[in-house]
């Protein structure tokens, strides 16, 4: 059988770091049946029942058994606008300022193809979500890293960007609440990003995947709330985290009309939109009672408090995340991120994600997902305590 050579685009894609982690976990499961996996980012709670019921009912609608409109149903885009007005007091035009996405992951990859030409630069947070890198690579662009450092509360320092880099940049990715650090954005950060975007014609893309998840009564702010945001950028949200709809693969982008048109145009060529029943269920999630969201955030906050308190008690000097469902923990001296993650897997049977998988400035940390119940989180901490590292 012939073996066909892959295209240069595929050959140049970033290596999938976490595929190796999954292989390690699967190998460990062959030996141990009590692995605690805190390395994943997959929500563990079910989709709220009223959203599931909306899909069940909508599945019987014969109109949805045909192709959906290429750019999504207008009722969903109107629901997105209602959501943004209610939650953030942001006005949006459903016809020009909303794009329906096959999950925010797809949009975050596609936007580079919409805006970058060969050799153009994208400003990328480091550590950050690896799919930013994938989109830039597919577009033939180059990345300039924006380090997220503890001393700056894991926010980028735009003053450190070189003039030449800013001149070549066409795109900037931001992500708050942040994966993997759990940091949240300040109004000042977004204001600075708008200035940079305006002065250098850089489109700011804010990945708001964890937008609903903030702790201690502090609600994360939307980039769209800041005056001028719509002039220079867009924001992407997903139904995956706020409503536990990860497997449903639906999200949306809002903001600058020219970028929204670009996303719609590229998706015209990739897809024929999403099953109408899923779109109707998504609209139900956005428009109906948000008690399920409040309950979810309370669940994550209880898990956060329990886990952080327990690992602090064993002597691990860590800070609690301010948002998202991740904790970003410094590794002990004498270990790299990967060495420490391997140790926890081999000796404590606890899976964490090594920080270097999120970029070079992720070295020295591991990411823990708060996606197991409190009992398992405490058990994981107790196993780590038994290693007598701290």
Residue 270 belongs to a domain with what CATH number?
Answer: 3.40.640.10
Residue 172: partners with Cβ closer than 8 Å, 6 or more residues away: 122, 123, 146, 193, 196, 197, 202, 203, 204, 205, 233
The secondary element (H helix, E strand) that includes residue 298 is helix 291-313
Residue 168 lies in a domain: yes
pLDDT band at residue 20 under the 50/70/90 scheme: confident
Q: CB neighbours of 164 closer than 8 A, spacing ≥ 6? A: none
Mean pLDDT of the chain: 95
Same domain, 340 and 220: no
- 128 and 35 within one domain: no
Residue 1 lies in a domain: no
Instruction: Indicate if 148 and 252 belong to the same structural domain.
Output: yes
Model-level pTM greater than 0.75?
yes
**Does a structural domain hold residue 184?**
yes
Q: Which helix (H) or strand (E) holds 252?
A: strand 251-255
Q: Which of the listed residues 239, 260, 287 is the one where a domain comes to its end?
A: 287
- Tell whether 251 and 352 lie within a shared domain: no
Q: Are residues 348 and 282 in the same domain?
A: no
Using DSSP's 3-state secondary structure scheme, residue 386 falls into coil
pLDDT (mean) for 242-262: 97
Residues 103 and 240: beta-carbon distance below 8 Å? yes
Statement to judge: residues 258 and 297 lie in one domain? no
pLDDT reported for residue 299: 98
| The residue count for the chain | 390
CA-to-CA separations, 320 to 136, 299, 324, in angstroms, rounded? 32, 15, 11
Q: Inform me whether the pLDDT recorded for 58 exceeds 80.
A: yes
Please write the tens of the pLDDT for every residue from 309-325: 999 999 999 999 999 99
Domain-terminating residue out of 260, 287, 314 = 287
- Mean pLDDT, residues 201-217 taken together: 97
List the one residue out of 216, 382, 378 whose CA is nearest residue 306.
378
- Tell me: the pLDDT tens digits for 271-323? 988 999 999 999 999 999 999 999 999 999 999 999 999 999 999 999 999 99
Query: Would you place residue 24 in the very low, low, confident or very high pLDDT band (cuts 50, 70, 90)?
Result: confident
Show which of 287, 313, 340 is a domain's final residue: 287
Measure the CA–CA gap between 196 and 150, rounded to whole angstroms: 22
Residue 155 is predicted with a pLDDT of 98
CA-wise closest residue to 266 among 123, 147, 108, 380 = 108
Residues 159 and 93 in one domain: yes
Closest CA to 237 of 56, 46, 77, 48: 77
Task: Compute CA 254 distance to the chain's CA centroid, rounded to the nearest angstrom.
Answer: 16
Q: Are residues 33 and 132 in the same domain?
A: no
Residues 166 and 305 both lie in one domain: no
User: How many domains, the chain?
Assistant: 2
pLDDT score of 23: 84
| Residue 390 placed within a domain | no
Q: 99 is in which domain, residue-wise?
A: 49-287
Identify whether the C-beta of residue 54 lies closer than 8 Å to the C-beta of residue 192: no
Residues 119-171 pLDDT 10s: 999 999 999 999 999 999 999 999 999 999 999 999 999 999 999 999 999 99
């Amino acid at each position: 059988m012939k073996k066909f050579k892959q295209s240069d685009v595929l050959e140049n894609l970033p290596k999938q770091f976490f595929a190796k982690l999954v292989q390690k976990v699967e190998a460990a499961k062959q030996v141990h049946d009590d692995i605690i996996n805190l390395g994943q980012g997959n929500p563990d709670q079910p989709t709220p029942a009223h959203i599931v019921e909306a899909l069940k009912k909508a599945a019987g609608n014969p109109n949805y058994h045909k192709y959906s409109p290429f750019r999504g149903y207008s009722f969903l885009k109107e629901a997105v606008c209602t959501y943004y007005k209610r939650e953030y007091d942001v006005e949006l035009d459903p016809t020009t300022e909303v794009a329906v996405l096959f999950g925010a992951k797809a949009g975050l990859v596609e936007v580079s193809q919409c805006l970058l030409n060969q050799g153009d630069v994208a400003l990328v947070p480091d550590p950050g979500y690896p799919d930013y890198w994938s989109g830039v690579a597919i577009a033939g662009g180059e990345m300039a890293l924006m380090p997220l450092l503890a001393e700056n509360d894991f926010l980028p320092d735009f003053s450190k960007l070189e003039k030449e880099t800013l001149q070549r940049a066409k795109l900037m990715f931001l992500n708050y609440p942040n994966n993997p650090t759990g940091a949240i954005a300040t109004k000042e950060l977004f204001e600075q990003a708008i200035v940079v975007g305006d002065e250098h014609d850089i489109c700011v893309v804010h990945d708001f995947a964890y937008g609903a998840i903030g702790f201690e009564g502090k609600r994360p702010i939307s980039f769209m709330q800041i005056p001028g945001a719509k002039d220079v950028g867009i924001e992407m949200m997903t139904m995956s985290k706020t409503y536990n709809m990860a497997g449903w693969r639906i999200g949306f982008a809002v903001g600058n009309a020219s970028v929204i048109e670009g996303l719609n145009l590229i998706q015209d060529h990739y897809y024929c939109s999403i099953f109408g029943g899923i779109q109707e269920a998504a609209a139900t999630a956005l428009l109906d009672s948000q008690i399920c969201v409040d309950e979810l955030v309370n669940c994550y906050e209880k898990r956060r408090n329990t886990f952080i308190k327990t690992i602090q008690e064993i002597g691990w000097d860590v800070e609690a995340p301010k948002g998202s469902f991740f904790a970003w923990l410094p590794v002990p001296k004498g270990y790299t991120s990967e060495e420490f993650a391997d140790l926890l897997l081999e000796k404590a049977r606890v899976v964490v994600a090594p920080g270097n998988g999120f970029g070079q400035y992720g070295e020295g940390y591991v990411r823990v997902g708060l996606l197991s119940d409190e009992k398992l989180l405490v058990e994981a901490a107790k196993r780590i305590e038994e290693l007598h590292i701290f």
